[in-house]
Amino acid sequence: MPHPKRKISNQRRDKRRTHDKATVPTIALCSNCGAPVLYHRVCAECGHYRGKLAIAKTAAG
């Protein structure tokens, strides 16, 4: 099996890996309250995830 003759520097390796780093996160709307939510996260507004209550939110007052 062939071996590299020279070590690939950290900078050269990292430059090769930069293509998918700067992606915009996918945002969906909460099915319960309609607030924008990141995928696979509990809604910060109402505490629901996939239509079920995951975190009980208390009324601030």
The three state secondary structure string of 1-61 is CCCCCCCCCHHHHHHHCCCCCCCCCCEEECCCCCCEEECCCCCCCCCEECCEECCCCCCCC
pTM: 0.56
Residue 14 lies in a domain: no
Residue 55 lies in a domain: yes
Residue 50 lies in a domain: yes
Pairing of strands 36-38, 27-29: antiparallel
Residue 54 lies in a domain: yes
The dihedrals phi and psi of 38, each to the nearest 5 degrees, come to -70, 150
Q: If you count them, how many residues does the chain have?
A: 61
Structural domains in the chain (count): 1
Per-residue confidence in pLDDT tens, the chain, 61 aa:
889 899 999 999 999 888 877 778 899 999 999 999 999 999 999 999 998 999 887 766 4
